[in-house]
Chain A
Amino acid sequence: MDDFIVGVLANIGIVSFVALSAYVLLLAGEVSFGQQAFFGLGAYAAGMGTAMLKWPLAPALLLGAIVGASTAALVGRATLRLTGLTFAMATLAFAEMMRIAFELFSFQVEVAGVPVGPKGPDGFGDIRYLFENEITPAQYMAGIWVLLAVTLAAFAGFDRSRYGRALRQAGTDPLLAELQGVRVVRVRLVAAAAAGALAGLGGGLYAHLLTYVEPGNFNIMLGVHSLAYGLIGGLGTALGPVLGVLIDIGLLESSRLFAGYRMIVFGGLVAVLLIVRPRGLLDERAVHRLGAFCKGLLDAVAARRFDGSLRRR
């Protein structure tokens, strides 16, 4: 496969994790501009796992997800009673605090005589696990997509679960959800932690793909984009934010269709969709209709098979 395509696909897969992270909070009824902070934490934590502690990739990625989840839970405890604009501002403030903290964070150890680790504004380089273990970019990209597929399958199950319904209800009408016995604050706290884990996992994958991260990678633009992906692709299914990433990175960025004007087109797309389809392309209604259509199709196929077997007899 062409290196460019491999790179684009890997990028789409990784950004999908942070988009899913913002999506989970959108389902909970909260707008977060700060998921890039947990992405960054995951990147640093997983990078330290393989580059400094010489862990294998899987536990290092797990560490990134755990750091993302636990920090998000702590931040969530402090902020989840806020709503609307105040919550959005709190998440943005936290993300900026984290970015500055990455600028100030220097912690290096000697590995084979070479200092390795985060070095303040110079970033964190030498996250060379893929090279050291002869993992090709195509193999890594495939691994990212396998993880993404597993995550999406988990989302499909989650949507049908009690917790999935409670999350959507808490996000749609918190008081009504409470009146149905849903513990809205607890549901939102768990959602915040899960969102942190997804962002942290994405960050870990990102650090190993690039081999080098710096505080500037985790700025507000990443947060705004990850939020916009769910709003473009739709909140009816976890495929929505992935669709949003595909439209932005797969179509607008990679095709160079609107070179130089991409951000204008992207911003315009978000604005138009917020007006005409406030819950995105794959909103709940669209997903419901698609589901009914597929069910009808399957029923028709089953009926035709049944007729055929009767005729053969």
Chain B
Amino acid sequence: MLLRLEGLTVRFGGVEALSAVDLSLAPGQSLGLMGPNGCGKTTLFNAISGVVRPDAGRVLFRGHDITGLPVHDIARLGIARTFQTVRLFAHMTVRDNVRPAAAQGHPAEEGRIVERALEAAGLAAKCDTLAGELPLGEQRRLEIARALARSPHLVLMDEPTAGLNPEETDALVKLIADAVRPAAGLMLIEHKPDVIAALCPMAILLDRGHATAAAPPAELFASDTFRRAYLGVIDREGGARPCG
């Protein structure tokens, strides 16, 4: 198993952001994560990547317990991530943004890894541009190039298409399908059902910190649980109505 979460629980004061989440991901598998804002999706990524320390439960990655390891050690084990709001080193060049993730061996090898990652992301021609000067679509691509440069086993992508227009979204979905999925396991947070459906054969729903069992996206979207989480209480006669 590539990733296994066992009873993962994260609390912020009195709020339980994740409640005993159990989840498994096989090598090369892609899993979609959906759920309304504030349901714990990003917290789940933060707990896996070491940014927040779980209050209970374990994160097992390739058979090793990585719960509570420092962020840089988890990254070096091969977990890469992208962010909902693009996070780059804006006043460094595109190439220099990617280099640290590739800095795992000989400098010459590092150069080759960087070139390959930029080529795959379609940014080879922009390698000397400052990252902050790229349009949003290319900044999203740069995040993906950076993730690829780590030669990761698992990529955590947090709403990679947020803020993109339909054409840019299609291009990014194609990039993820062509470059990320063949290279690593993928966990994808998205609000757009068609993006999840295009990239992930299985998806789960997070609602107020609780995870449902994984199901094919079409099945998940059709479920009452899904509609209740996004739209509110299901009234069999009157349809969905908002909670509260």
CB of A299 within 8 Å of the partner chain: no
A residues contacting the other copy or chain, number (CB 8 A): 24
Task: Give the bracket for the number of chain B residues in contact with chain A.
Answer: 20 to 34
* Interface status of A228 (Cβ within 8 A of chain B): no
Q: Name the segment of B29-37, B68-76, B171-179, B231-239 touching the other chain.
A: B68-76
Q: Which residues of B84-114 have CB atoms within 8 Å of chain A's CB atoms?
A: 87-93, 96, 99-101, 103-104, 107, 110
Q: Are B130 and A178 in contact (CB under 8 A)?
A: no
Chain A residues whose CB sits within 8 angstroms of the CB of B110 once the complex forms = 162
Residues of A within 8 A of B91 (CB): 172, 236, 279, 283-285, 288
Interface flag for B49 (CB, 8 Å): yes
Are A288 and B100 within 8 A (Cβ)? no
A136 and B240 CA atoms in complex are apart in Å by: 90
Knowing A162-B100, A162-B103, A288-B130, say if A179 contacts B92 (CB, 8 Å).
Answer: no
Please tell me which one of the listed residues B76, B92, B104, B150 contacts residue A169 in the complex, with CB atoms under 8 A apart.
Answer: B92
**A176 to B82 Cα, complex, angstroms:** 10
Q: Are A178 and B72 in contact (CB under 8 A)?
A: yes
Q: Which of A165, A175, A279, A292 contacts B100 (CB 8 A)?
A: A165
Given the complex, which residues of B lie within 8 Å of A180, measured CB to CB? Answer: 75, 100-101, 146, 150
Q: Taking the complex as formed, is A177 at the interface, i.e. its CB lies under 8 A from any CB of chain B?
A: yes
Tell me the dominant secondary structure on chain A's binding face. Answer: helix
Q: Write out, one digit per residue, whether chain A residues 173-186 have a CB within 8 A of any chain B CB (1) or not (0).
A: 10111111111100
| B81 contacts partner chain A, Cβ-Cβ < 8 Å | yes
Say if the beta carbon of A166 comes within 8 Å of chain B: yes
Asked whether A165 lies within 8 Å of B72 as measured between CB atoms, the reply is: no
Which residues of chain A (151-198) have a CB below 8 Å from chain B?
Answer: 162, 165-166, 168-169, 172-173, 175-184
- B233 to chain A minimum Cβ distance, whole angstroms, is 38
Contacts of A181 in B (CB 8 A): 72, 75-76, 100-101, 103-104, 150
Provide a sorted-by-A list of 20 A–B residue pairs whose CB atoms are within 8 angstroms: A162-B99, A165-B99, A168-B89, A172-B89, A172-B92, A173-B87, A175-B51, A176-B89, A177-B100, A179-B80, A180-B75, A180-B100, A181-B72, A181-B104, A183-B70, A236-B91, A279-B91, A284-B91, A284-B92, A288-B130
- Which residues of B approach A to under 8 Å, CB–CB? 49, 51, 70-72, 75-76, 80-81, 87-93, 96, 99-101, 103-104, 107, 110, 128, 130, 146, 150
